[in-house]
Amino acid sequence: MDLKELISKDKLPRHIAIIMDGNGRWAQNRGSMRLFGHQNGVESVRQVVEAAGELGVEYLTLYAFSTENWNRPRSEVDALMGLMVTSIQNETESLHKNNVKLSAIGELDDLPPTVKKQLQSAIDYTSENTGLNLVIALSYSGRWEITSAIKKIAEEVKNGDLDPENIDTCMLETYLNTYTIPDPELLIRTSGERRISNFMLWQLAYTELYFTTVFWPDFRKKHLYEAIIDFQRRDRRFGRVKTQTGVATVNN
Ligand code: IPE
Ligand code: IPE
Ligand code: MG
């Protein structure tokens, strides 16, 4: 039986987030430069975007570059930024044809102007689309995001525009980059690493975590289906007991 047919349409995760890891090791295993792995990862992005769109997933967030990744060798950072520009350039039309709406989270001001410009034009070009919401996390880290939110809140308190009494979790969420996006229900990390690496620290509070040893450049639609099937077999309790499940979630 086709794996896709094992997926229950009525229990689809609304939001899937992916830490796309293992490009460097994939390339090194082939005796190639790390960049070759990054280049091959673009096809995996195409596959998951297409698969998520076909299934009817509402949001797909892809961790493409972390705040900490700026500390990699300059040559790798430059190569990754170059790849970002060409990939966005090459993929925008097909994203648009597939009704995908692109957005980005992260400290986008830190990106080279060429990347920022290309990204913004792809975001604008796809802004009216109503299908899959594709969110690219670029120069993003969870701690950076929470710190930025706290700074904005502190500024408003200082100016007398906000009473600390009114700060609660729902309100804090409105200061995050993701404030219009529901929390991920499923997080996938490839390459065998079992850590979060500063990704969506706030939003992952009740996310189901799925780790696979597949390196990102080898990740295909069937791997996404496997992760979703695994997710659908889980019992999500949100701190309650089993008989109460389905009553509420933490945020929506
Ligand atoms: C993920 O692959 C891509 C980015 C972090 C930009 P890596 O480059 O981390 O590959 P490994 O983990 O070193 O194999
Ligand atoms: C996490 O991968 C960041 C992205 C996939 C963009 P890393 O490869 O940078 O994470 P660590 O260093 O293994 O924790
Ligand atoms: Mg890595």
Percent of the chain that is helix, strand, coil (3-state, to 5): 50, 15, 40
Please, what is the Cα angle at 121 between 116 and 124, to 5 degrees?
120
Half-sphere exposure of 241 (CA within 13 A, CB side): 1
pLDDT for position 252: 47
Tell how far the Cα of 21 is from the centroid of ligand 2, in angstroms: 6
Tell how far the Cα of 138 is from the centroid of ligand 3, in angstroms: 15
Query: Is there a domain that residue 162 lies in?
Result: no
Query: Is there a domain that residue 206 lies in?
Result: yes
Tell how far the Cα of 63 is from the centroid of ligand 2, in angstroms: 9
Indicate whether residue 20 lines ligand 2 (CB < 6 A): yes
59-66 vs 208-211, strand pairing mode: unpaired
126-175 pLDDT, tens digit each: 999 999 999 999 999 999 999 999 999 999 999 999 999 999 999 999 99
pLDDT for position 245: 61
> Ligand 2, atom 2: nearest CA belongs to which residue?
21
Q: Is the dihedral of CA 100, 56, 142, 188 positive or negative?
A: negative
Is 134 within 8 Å of 49 (Cβ atoms)? yes
Indicate whether residue 21 lines ligand 2 (CB < 6 A): yes
Spans of the chain, pLDDT less than 70: 1, 245-252
Query: CA-to-CA distance for 109 and 183, rounded, in angstroms?
Result: 24
Query: Is there a domain that residue 121 lies in?
Result: yes
pTM of the model: 0.96
Query: CA-to-CA distance for 210 and 230, rounded, in angstroms?
Result: 8
Query: Is there a domain that residue 237 lies in?
Result: no
- The tally of domains found in the chain comes to 1
Domain containing 57 equals 14-140+184-231
